[in-house]
């Protein structure tokens, strides 16, 4: 990870090296935290954070589901993100707000533990590799089932949930694949370890509906709107693994992964990235980079004009 100058921690911008917690932190022992992943892009009008308010709204929702009082409004966190971008001077970066039950008592019930709220930022290139973005990645259905609505609320972007993702992606990587696809308890397609999934068949786009155990992805929502705008029909419904094997095109979406094509699933070839995936990938990248008037309202410009990072 490339270290930058500052981290925002509990209301203050502090030096990167000083952003520490005690080993007795509740969140470390029990995974009791919530987080976000947000990208800021360099655009012709300066650094713009993509759908920042929507991400912070999801952070608030996640916190609510873990009975966690963040102590900062969405507006305050929004200003904190902007201040951090300005302080670090890197216009194109990944932002990682995280809130967790802090140091106090140990024991599972977190009653009385303080809540620590932190925002980090650092440059993060392509999630699944530049080659993956261009040529497509290889994915494998995981032997791990996606956590379901009565296990941990999957609607929350909670830190503990990511053990599920970690096991799945490590299993896939060890077997020689780039990414894992998790199925729900009932066997329907859920999501990747860190992405939502889309299937293209006979010109129509399909994606698992929100009642499947998926994270309600902000990129997913973005892609649905962009695809409809481009004239495609998007159907949200339960999908099964053979829908992937027989698909014309499959792609994954996420803040980190952006729009990443899949070239095979479980060694069943899907082929090189197809026309629908490529059209949507281009429209998405144009949108986040401020090249699209249509979706300009999704860009929230950093208030301070950050200096370019020193090479």
Could you list the residues that contact ligand PPE (CB under 6 A)?
37, 165, 191, 194-196, 215, 217-220, 253-257
Give the nearer residue to ligand PPE in terms of CB position, either 217 or 261. 217
Give the nearer residue to ligand PPE in terms of CB position, either 85 or 113. 85
Rounded Cα–Cα distance for residues 63 and 98 (Å): 10
Give the nearer residue to ligand PPE in terms of CB position, either 88 or 255. 255
Handedness of CA 52, 56, 61, 62 (dihedral sign): positive
Rounded Cα–Cα distance for residues 244 and 258 (Å): 19
Q: Residue 308 gets which letter from DSSP? A: P
Rounded Cα–Cα distance for residues 69 and 117 (Å): 10
Q: Exactly one of 20, 135, 140, 157 is catalytic; name it.
A: 157
Residue 157 designated active-site: yes
Give the rounded distance of the alpha carbon of 17 from its chain centre.
25
Give the rounded distance of the alpha carbon of 111 from its chain centre.
29
User: What are the phi and psi torsion angles at 262 (to 5°)?
Assistant: -110, 135
3-state helix/strand/coil string of 118-152: EEEEECCCCCCCHHHHHHCEEEEEEEEECCCCCCC
The label of the residue with tokens 């060694």 reads: 267
In sequence order, what are the residues at sequence separation of 6 or more whose Cβ sits closer than 8 angstroms to the Cβ of residue 88?
4, 5, 6, 121, 306
**Closest approach of ligand PPE to the CB of residue 143, in Å:** 17
Give the nearer residue to ligand PPE in terms of CB position, either 158 or 200. 158
Give the nearer residue to ligand PPE in terms of CB position, either 137 or 215. 215
Identify any residues that bridge with 46 across adjacent strands, giving them in sequence order: 43
Q: Residue 303 gets which letter from DSSP? A: S
Q: Which residue is nearest to ligand PPE (CB)?
A: 37
Give the nearer residue to ligand PPE in terms of CB position, either 113 or 219. 219
How, if at all, do strands 93-101 and 204-207 pair? Answer: unpaired
- Indicate the burial class of 231 (C-beta count within 10 angstroms; 0-12, 13-18, 19 or more): exposed
**Closest approach of ligand PPE to the CB of residue 105, in Å:** 29
**Closest approach of ligand PPE to the CB of residue 144, in Å:** 12
**Closest approach of ligand PPE to the CB of residue 97, in Å:** 11
With contact defined as beta carbons under 8 Å apart, do 288 and 300 qualify?
no
The catalytic site residues sit at 157
């Amino acid at each position: 990870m490339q270290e930058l100058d500052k981290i925002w921690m509990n209301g203050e911008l502090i030096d990167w090296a000083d952003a520490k917690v005690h080993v007795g932190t509740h969140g470390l022992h029990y995974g009791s935290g919530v987080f976000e992943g947000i990208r800021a892009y360099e655009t012709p009008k300066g650094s713009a954070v993509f759908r920042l308010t929507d991400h912070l709204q999801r952070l608030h929702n996640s916190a609510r589901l873990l009975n966690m009082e963040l102590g900062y409004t969405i507006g305050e966190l929004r200003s904190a993100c902007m201040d951090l971008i300005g302080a670090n001077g890197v216009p194109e970066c990944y932002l990682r707000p995280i809130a967790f039950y802090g140091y106090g008592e140990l024991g599972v019930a977190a009653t009385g533990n303080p809540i620590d709220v932190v925002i980090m930022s650092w440059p993060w290139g392509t999630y699944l590799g530049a080659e993956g973005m261009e040529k497509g990645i290889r994915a494998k259905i995981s032997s791990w089932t996606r956590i379901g609505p009565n296990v941990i609320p999957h609607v929350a972007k909670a830190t503990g949930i990511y053990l599920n993702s970690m096991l799945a992606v490590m299993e896939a990587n060890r077997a020689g694949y780039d990414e894992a696809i998790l199925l729900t308890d009932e066997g329907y397609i859920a999501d990747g370890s860190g992405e939502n999934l889309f299937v293209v068949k006979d010109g129509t786009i399909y994606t698992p509906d929100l009642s499947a155990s998926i994270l309600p992805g902000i990129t997913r929502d973005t892609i649905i709107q962009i695809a409809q705008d481009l004239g495609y029909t998007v159907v949200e419904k339960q999908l099964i693994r053979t829908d992937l094997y027989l698909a014309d095109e499959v792609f994954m979406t996420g803040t980190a992964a952006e729009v990443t094509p899949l070239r095979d699933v479980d060694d069943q070839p899907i082929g090189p990235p197809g026309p629908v995936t490529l059209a949507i990938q281009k429209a998405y990248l144009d949108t986040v980079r401020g090249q699209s008037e249509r979706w300009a309202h999704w860009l929230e410009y950093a208030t301070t004009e950050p200096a370019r990072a020193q090479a």
